[in-house]
Amino acid sequence: MPLQLHKECMKLMGNQFEISVVAVSKNYANECIAKAVTEIKRIENLLTTFNDCSETNLINAAAGIHPVQVSEETFRLIQRSIRISNVTQGAFDITYGSIDKNLWNFNLNMQALPDAHTAKKMVRLINYKNIELNENDFSVLLKHKGMRIGFGGIGKGYAADKAKQVLLACGIESGIVNASGDLITWGFQPNGEPWTIGIAHPDAAYSVFSYFNISNMAVATSGNYEKFVWINGKKYSHTINPKTGLPITGIKSVTIITTHAEIADAMATPVTIMGIEAGLDMINQMNNIEAIIVDDDNRVFTSHNIRINKNKYTKN
């Protein structure tokens, strides 16, 4: 029997996941996908903030009081998150959970931005440098009461990478794990061609802005097309700058292409926050990572190794 593409869609981690595998047997494909789903659910239980007993919430509940011993897996993910915070100069920060969401609801009732002083005050607890890690017992301490961590900026990508590992262990040599737009690819389509990945149009989330062919790479896009607010004729993204407490403007979407979904997921938002010039300068100094940025005027900016030709992106 020839190789065929088998897909399953499901809601996990509060997001839509689509797992695609290339296999001869549909039954075998479904068995492997089921194992990947089990792995994603395991990670969700580890990282969720919707379960008081999750390691994330145990850390948050003990903020400013005492360290919490966690699994090595969670400890290492926090450790890697802090490294990304250092690289992005704090534009990525898992302590964003400390923010007061009442200040920014991004719905039709929002008619004005908070003043700069109020906004700055509300993000005072966001500071990854106040996470204390103990390598000896894998314990985590948030130094100040009220601090909270969350993995919304990296968790989906991490889950996609882990699901890929499970599928590879099952013998699936080609596939895609798509975690609501944060995706990892490996191998090839049944016809031997690379995977074709579309980028959501910045003005229409369900339309394709452009596409490119990749294999063994990850892609993540952060855009303001799904949640935003207009105030005095200006569009503000739901993405908050953790240093100022104010929403970012000027960029519609950032797409990151790299080797792991975890990194792609984690880097898309900080490039948005840093802005076009600083964001691309950072990406151009890093290995095995590229970026495509679309600004509010639909101008496209790319890192050095991306070539654009007639609305089709290719990686040199």
Q: What is the pLDDT of residues 258-299, one digit of tens each?
A: 999 999 999 999 999 999 999 999 999 999 999 999 998 889
CA dist 266 and 48 (Å) reads: 17
Q: Which residue is listed with tokens 């039709």? A: 108
The pLDDT tens digits of the residues spanning 79-99 come to 999 999 999 999 999 999 877
Task: Please report which confidence band the pLDDT of residue 100 belongs to, taking 50, 70 and 90 as the band edges.
Answer: low
pLDDT given at position 18: 97
pLDDT given at position 104: 60
SS (H, E, C) 94-119: HHHHHCCHHHCCCCCCCCCCCCHHHH
pLDDT at position 313 over 50? no
- Specify whether the CB–CB gap between 233 and 187 falls below 8 A: no
pLDDT given at position 211: 79
Nearest Cα to Cα of residue 154 among 241, 79, 215: 79
Arithmetic mean of pLDDT over the chain: 89
The pLDDT > 70 percentage for the chain reads 91
pLDDT at position 314 over 60? no
Q: Which residues pair with 142 in a beta bridge?
A: 131
SS3 25: coil
Q: Hey, where are the domains in the chain?
A: 55-142
- Specify whether the CB–CB gap between 141 and 66 falls below 8 A: yes
The tokens of 263 are what? Answer: 């990194």
pLDDT at position 135 over 80? yes
Half-sphere exposure of 248 (CA within 13 A, CB side): 25
Averaged pLDDT, 17-36: 97
The pLDDT > 90 percentage for the chain reads 67
Averaged pLDDT, 59-64: 97
pLDDT given at position 176: 97
- Specify whether the CB–CB gap between 253 and 238 falls below 8 A: no
SS3 21: strand
* Structure letter (DSSP) for residue 128: G
pLDDT given at position 312: 45
pLDDT at position 106 over 70? no
- Specify whether the CB–CB gap between 142 and 58 falls below 8 A: no
pTM for the predicted model, two decimal places: 0.90
- Specify whether the CB–CB gap between 68 and 139 falls below 8 A: yes
The pLDDT tens digits of the residues spanning 181-200 come to 899 999 999 999 999 888 77
More confidently predicted of 35 and 122:
35
CA dist 314 and 302 (Å) reads: 11
Averaged pLDDT, 116-126: 83
| CATH class of this structure's domain 55-142 | mainly alpha
Task: Please report which confidence band the pLDDT of residue 207 belongs to, taking 50, 70 and 90 as the band edges.
Answer: confident
CA dist 27 and 285 (Å) reads: 45
pLDDT given at position 25: 94
pLDDT at position 235 over 90? no
Averaged pLDDT, 11-35: 96
Task: Please report which confidence band the pLDDT of residue 206 belongs to, taking 50, 70 and 90 as the band edges.
Answer: low
Instruction: Spell out the alpha helix ranges (H) of the chain.
Output: 26-47, 55-61, 72-87, 116-122, 155-169, 261-274, 276-284
